[in-house]
Amino acid sequence: MSTPSTTLPLETTTPFGPLRSRRILVALALVVLAVFPGQIGEITRTMMTDAYIQVSAFVAATLLIFYGAERLFHFDMGQALKGSKRWQVPIASVLGATPGCGGAIVVVAAYSSGNVGFGAVVAALTSTMGDAAFLLIATRPDAAAVVLPLSFAVGILSGWIVDGLPAIRVEPSTKGCAYVPLIGRLRPRDFLFFAVFLPGIVLGAAQLLRLPLFEAAGSLPMVVGLLGTATGLWIWTSSPVQAMTNAGDAPLTRMAEETSFISVWVIGAYLAYEYTVAFSGLDLALLFGAVAPILPAAAILIGLIPGCGPQVLVTTLFTNGLIPFSALIGNAISNDGDALFPAIALNPRAAVMATLYSTVPAIIVAYGFYFLAPGSMN
């Protein structure tokens, strides 16, 4: 994370006209799809709601915790990681293993600003289970007690191996990261984002825990989800920030900015999947119902898909007894959650290489469980 810049007003130091134009076009396309009549509009509105309630609210919560702790205790996680040297990888793995995506996003930001090495990124992305961790903890705490510590340990080992092999390390690209603009003030849209976030996280937790409150809420989840999506699109289209915020900004601003950025990617991932299912007949449940030996491989491949939506689906299949534990652990290690989105935006080569590296331990661990402990945790 960059240190705050206080040289000139934001408007005179950050040319973001072309970036804003592209974002406005994307936002307009999403709005058109949402109001489109028939099945397309219905799918789009439903997926916008699900993306906000199931993912964005939890991303916002974890980011607010991390950035709020930084402000409260007067420290910069990026600088702390930079000074940790050989402890960078274990600390990054701890941050990644934290339920949600906030910890892994912090590590990605630290890498993009040159504060940590590539091994730390691999450790964080390998150990993270993203928002699927919340679902597993709520529904199968016995399985979570195995998956989360094991992913943490595999993350550390993977990070150390990468750091020990200079030929496979990827140096951070500074393109677009040399200047991180300081917004410097709390804006009305930050407070609006927080106001929508509060019922969003309550509804998201109720849905995750399968509480009657969610069913009793009626159309409220869609109202909150669409309002949250609209607020996020407003913040994203008017933002001078490429992906990650300045450490000098208020935690509420940083939460709103970064969650809005990630939400657009999450919506895109949700829509791509649902449109494919609706118009091609693809059914992941049927895919997992195929020959048993390919189930761990299929789960690992799904783990390569950016975002938390497909990974939540895999966890749901496990909690419903449709796939074995070996498939769940393979997916947990290979998936990078929403942290992959800012990584792709800031350092695409590093993002691709890190997620590919995570597939190696995923295959080893998943098939280790498949052949050596086939009935474990089921």
How many domains does the chain contain in total? 1
pTM as predicted: 0.76
Q: Is residue 324 part of a domain?
A: no
pLDDT for residue 178 is more than 50:
no
C-alpha 333/C-alpha 179 separation (Å) is 33
**pLDDT confidence band for 1 (50 / 70 / 90):** very low
User: Using CA of residue 355, residue 359, residue 362, residue 364, what is the dihedral sign?
Assistant: negative
155 touches 93 (CB < 8 A): yes
Is residue 51 assigned to a domain? yes
User: What are the residues whose beta carbons fall under 8 Å from the beta carbon of 354, sequence distance 6 or more?
Assistant: 118, 121, 122, 125, 170, 336, 343
Question: Would the CA dihedral through 344, 347, 352, 354 be positive or negative?
Answer: negative
Whether 191 is in a domain gets the answer: yes
Asked if the structure places residue 336 within a domain, the reply is: no
Per-residue pLDDT of 55-66, as tens digits, reads 889 989 988 998
Confirm if 309 and 340 have CB atoms less than 8 A apart: no
Least confident of 87-101, 134-148, 161-175, 178-192: 161-175
Residue 331 resides in a domain:
no
In a domain, 229, yes or no: yes
Triad 204, 209, 212: Cα angle to 5°: 90
Residues of the chain with pLDDT > 90, as a percent, come to 45
The pLDDT, as a whole number, for residue 8 is 33
Is 317 a domain residue?
no
Domain presence at residue 249: yes
Domain that holds residue 95: 10-268
